[in-house]
Amino acid sequence: MALSDTQLTFFNGKWTEGNTPILGAADHSMWHGNMVFDGARFFEGVMPDLAHHCERVVASAETMGMQSPVTAAEIAELVREGVKRLNTEDAYYLRPMMWSADCLPGIMEADPESTRFAVCLEKIAMPLAGNMPMTVSPFRRPDPRTALTTAKAACLYPNNARIITEAKSRGFKNALSLDLDGYVAESATSNVFLVKDGVVRTPSHNGTFLNGVTRRRVIGLLRSNGFQVDEASLTVENFRDADEMFLTGNAAKVLPVTALDERKLQHGPVTRKVRELYWDFAHTKFEKVAL
């Protein structure tokens, strides 16, 4: 999945430039779809919460029946090494990933000891806060009863892709997706928050979506700065009645939502404060990478 023409990849003990081939045609993950990945960010010289992203990819591998050949700390050190090799101030997406090469007898189960590992650092600019009209998707999110939703697994993302595709067909850029019980889970790409009368609300983490690293960080930053943040079962009508909406995720960190269907939304004061708090946190709590 080359999103740019610039990558640096670590695989089989060495770094190579470009979109390095890492899968074989007969690899278990190729036809049983259990690859997992995570994504940290390098931007403006910092890599906030890198350790949490590395811990999550190890946990995701275990959820999918694999055994990580590296520790989270070793992954983080490799990522730091790769960023130093890049020697750039450009923004990069930092993507460790794991997959199984072999299966146990019976075909379906991954052989835990066959787990492979790679890191791909890909040049991708940080999206700017701009026009982000959203709609409500007709497609639902799976939950732990129907899929391994607690892993950041590649096999879950085709559903997100069809949510985006359908929304774009109606002139929107993203969409709220509902869980199987009819409550809002998140957007197609990231966790979602609303603001009403100064109170920040976000869907309860019920297993239908990842409890995002940036989501958790934003909740903590808001609460430590005097904001009330409620995690609750939220309906589409709760979002239609909001004063502000914003998205949190690793790729863009914090983005304002500018419309929900026909209703326009402001890039309001709370959303602006969230972005300010996050950027201040990223630049004061994490040492700038020495290139």
pLDDT value for 161: 97
Q: What is the pLDDT of residues 131-155, one digit of tens each?
A: 999 999 999 999 999 999 999 999 9
pLDDT value for 229: 98
- 96/290: higher pLDDT: 96
Which three-class secondary structure state does DSSP give residue 53? helix
Record the tokens describing residue 74, joined without a space: 């070793």
**Confidence class for position 157, pLDDT limits 50, 70, 90:** very high
Running DSSP on this structure, what letter comes out for residue 154? G
- Distance from C-alpha of 148 to C-alpha of 64, rounded to nearest angstrom: 8
Give the residue from 125, 122, 117 showing the smallest Cα distance to 253.
125
**Region of residue 31 (phi > 0: left; psi between -120 and 50: alpha; otherwise: beta):** alpha
Q: What are phi and psi of 179, to 5 degrees?
A: -85, 180
CATH 3.20.10.10 maps onto the chain at: 133-282
Element (H, E) at 284: helix 269-285
Q: 63 and 151 in contact (C-beta within 8 Å)?
A: yes
Give the residue from 248, 141, 125 showing the smallest Cα distance to 195.
248
**Confidence class for position 4, pLDDT limits 50, 70, 90:** confident
Res 24 pLDDT > 90: yes
For the segment 42-57, the average pLDDT, to the nearest whole number, is 97
**Confidence class for position 286, pLDDT limits 50, 70, 90:** confident
Q: What is the pLDDT of residues 200-225, one digit of tens each?
A: 999 999 999 999 999 999 999 999 99
- Distance from C-alpha of 287 to C-alpha of 284, rounded to nearest angstrom: 7
Give bridge partners of residue 52 from the DSSP assignment: none
Domain 7-123 adopts which CATH fold?
D-amino Acid Aminotransferase; Chain A, domain 1 (3.30.470)
pLDDT value for 288: 84
Q: What is the pLDDT of residues 164-174, one digit of tens each?
A: 999 999 999 99
Res 1 pLDDT > 60: no
CA atoms within 13 A on the CB side of 182: 3
Choice among 126-130, 181-185, 246-250 with the minimum mean pLDDT: 126-130
- Distance from C-alpha of 278 to C-alpha of 217, rounded to nearest angstrom: 8
CATH 3.30.470.10 maps onto the chain at: 7-123
- Distance from C-alpha of 54 to C-alpha of 241, rounded to nearest angstrom: 37
Looking up tokens 């019976």, which residue turns up?
106
Q: CATH code for 133-282?
A: 3.20.10.10
Q: What percent of the chain has pLDDT over 70?
A: 99
Choice among 128-132, 136-140, 270-274 with the minimum mean pLDDT: 128-132
Q: What is the pLDDT of residues 178-196, one digit of tens each?
A: 999 999 999 999 999 999 9
Beta-carbon contacts of 189 under 8 Å, excluding residues fewer than 6 positions away, are 160, 164, 174, 247, 249, 251
Give the residue from 88, 107, 120 showing the smallest Cα distance to 23.
120
pLDDT value for 8: 97
Q: What percent of the chain has pLDDT over 90?
A: 92
- Distance from C-alpha of 96 to C-alpha of 82, rounded to nearest angstrom: 11
- Distance from C-alpha of 290 to C-alpha of 70, rounded to nearest angstrom: 25
User: Read out DSSP for 57-114?
Assistant: HHHHHHHTT---SS-HHHHHHHHHHHHHHH---S-EEEEEEEEES-B-TTSSSB-GGG
Q: 147 and 156 in contact (C-beta within 8 Å)?
A: yes
Beta-carbon contacts of 55 under 8 Å, excluding residues fewer than 6 positions away, are 72
pLDDT value for 258: 97
**Confidence class for position 2, pLDDT limits 50, 70, 90:** low
**Confidence class for position 107, pLDDT limits 50, 70, 90:** confident
